[in-house]
Amino acid sequence: MVDLKTQYDHIHTEIQEAFQEILDTSQFVNGQVVKRFTANLSEYLGGAHVIPCANGTDAIQIALMALDLKPGDEVITTPFTFVATAEVIALLQLKPVFVDVDPDTFVLNPDKLGEVLTDRSRVIIPVHLFGQAAPMEPIMEFASANDLFVIEDNAQAIGAAYTFSDGRQEMLGTIGHIGTTSFFPSKNLGAYGDAGAIFSRDESLATKMRSVVNHGMNQQYQYERIGVNSRLDSFQAAVLDIKLRKLDTYNKARREAAEYYSSKLEGVDGVICPKTADYSTHVFHQYTLRLTSADRDGVRAALGEAGIPSGVYYPKPLHLHAPYQAYGYQEGDFPVSEQLSREVLSLPMHSELTPEVQDYIISVLLKNL
């Protein structure tokens, strides 16, 4: 699904020099490299505070921990996402409250927010799924009208920009009160191990989160809250700093590969190509088709026999998994997410795809629909 080896081959000298420098200085944690990457990412994101951490799941947990919520407070999110989003809500004794997604863009449908609002609602976590932004403008308006926090789960769309109706542009992850991301190797900005980060334009939230990631410490061995241990190490920061400079190029390559797929697949019977909402750029973390009539398992098996990987993200929406059904959910509650789970198929997508490889993938797919 991704080709990290070819990508590495293009940058291996820079990576090896950076790794050697870390070995020579022995600054493995909280060293200069981590500070440099943090500052560069902050600048890339238009000046938002950046707090590095150990992974994208921690990032969401830490964001929630900084909001001083009470057990049973409700956090609204989508059931059509990676489990991490809902998992940390439940882990913190908060209540995950799902709303269905838009069938064209696969992201949280803001028209549904009013249906789940209660006097315990505190937070909305929209997920910018597959590289496509959730509609942040209506979500922020709803949040502001109802006194809710917004945490953007931006694990899949770093580098995408959002355009508001007044023409103002913001980087995804810096629009909500807090934004989170993952630098898992296969993400658009991927480390060579686990890594993550949290963003905020709010100075006091940023200060709280810096304390949460470091055991709740404010001064040396003084603890003001319950925290966690979640750090970015120097080797990962070095990789990320090198790849950050190329992120826009990588995302452009993904966008071009997506356009190429769509130019050959648009209009094919039983295939719906991914759409780009008019309010944002799409950075195609995944290129995800809907197969409305084909036998998806059969198509996947045929692709696999031809040496082509494919993915189903996600084969079952979260509300149908046992730990989340415990909150009273059942089949039929979120029909769009349920239908998408039956229809979606993701094709290989990364910064190193060539038209020749894509032609092969497309020809095998078309023969087996």
Question: Does 105 sit near ligand PLP (CB under 6 A)?
Answer: no
Q: Which H or E run includes 17?
A: helix 4-25
What single letter denotes the amino acid at residue 92? L
State in angstroms the smallest separation of the CB of 253 from ligand PLP.
20
What single letter denotes the amino acid at residue 228? V
State in angstroms the smallest separation of the CB of 155 from ligand PLP.
3
Residue 315: Cβ within 10 Å count: 10
Question: Does 57 sit near ligand PLP (CB under 6 A)?
Answer: yes
Question: Does 310 sit near ligand PLP (CB under 6 A)?
Answer: no
State in angstroms the smallest separation of the CB of 55 from ligand PLP.
4
Question: Does 85 sit near ligand PLP (CB under 6 A)?
Answer: yes
Question: Does 96 sit near ligand PLP (CB under 6 A)?
Answer: no
State in angstroms the smallest separation of the CB of 57 from ligand PLP.
3
Could you say which residues in the range 110-139 bind ligand PLP, by CB under 6 A?
A: 127
Nearest of 233, 223, 221 to residue 196 by alpha carbon? 233
State in angstroms the smallest separation of the CB of 237 from ligand PLP.
15
Nearest of 230, 226, 250 to residue 240 by alpha carbon? 250
Any idea what DSSP says for residue 348?
P
Determine how β-strand 121-125 pairs with β-strand 178-182: unpaired
- Is residue 76 classed as helix, strand or coil in its secondary structure? strand
State in angstroms the smallest separation of the CB of 174 from ligand PLP.
17
Tokens encoding 60 = 């969401």
Question: Does 82 sit near ligand PLP (CB under 6 A)?
Answer: yes
Nearest of 138, 185, 178 to residue 154 by alpha carbon? 178
Question: Does 81 sit near ligand PLP (CB under 6 A)?
Answer: yes
State in angstroms the smallest separation of the CB of 181 from ligand PLP.
8
Round to whole Å and give the CA distance between 275 and 278: 9
What residue has token string 């951490």? Answer: 53
What residue has token string 């992974």? Answer: 55
State in angstroms the smallest separation of the CB of 83 from ligand PLP.
8
Q: Which H or E run includes 43?
A: helix 32-44
Question: Does 230 sit near ligand PLP (CB under 6 A)?
Answer: no
Q: Which of 113, 125, 148, 155 binds ligand PLP (CB under 6 A)?
A: 155
Q: What mask of x and - would describe binding to ligand PLP in positions 183 to 212, judged by CB under 6 A?
A: -x---------x-x----------------
Select 54 or 265, whichever has its Cβ closest to ligand PLP: 54
Q: How far is CA 202 from CA 47, 49, 207, in A?
A: 11, 8, 9
Q: How far is CA 156 from CA 7, 75, 181, 196, 281, in A?
A: 18, 20, 7, 12, 13
What residue has token string 């031809």? Answer: 306
Question: Does 276 sit near ligand PLP (CB under 6 A)?
Answer: no
Count of residues of this chain found to bind ligand PLP when the rule CB under 6 A is applied: 15
Question: Does 236 sit near ligand PLP (CB under 6 A)?
Answer: no
Question: Does 84 sit near ligand PLP (CB under 6 A)?
Answer: yes
Residue 209 and residue 63 in contact, taking contact as beta carbons nearer than 8 Å: yes
Please identify, among the stretches 134-142, 149-157, 210-218, 289-297, the one whose residues bind ligand PLP according to the rule CB under 6 A.
149-157
State in angstroms the smallest separation of the CB of 157 from ligand PLP.
9
Which residues have C-beta within 8 Å of that of residue 74, sequence separation ≥ 6? 94, 95, 97, 116, 118, 120, 121, 122, 123
Question: Does 232 sit near ligand PLP (CB under 6 A)?
Answer: no
Please identify, among the stretches 30-38, 77-85, 202-210, 238-246, the one whose residues bind ligand PLP according to the rule CB under 6 A.
77-85
Q: Which of 7, 55, 61, 230 binds ligand PLP (CB under 6 A)?
A: 55
Round to whole Å and give the CA distance between 81 and 156: 10
Residue number with the smallest Cβ distance to ligand PLP: 56
Q: Which residues bind ligand PLP (CB under 6 A)?
A: 55-57, 81-82, 84-85, 127, 153, 155-156, 182, 184, 194, 196
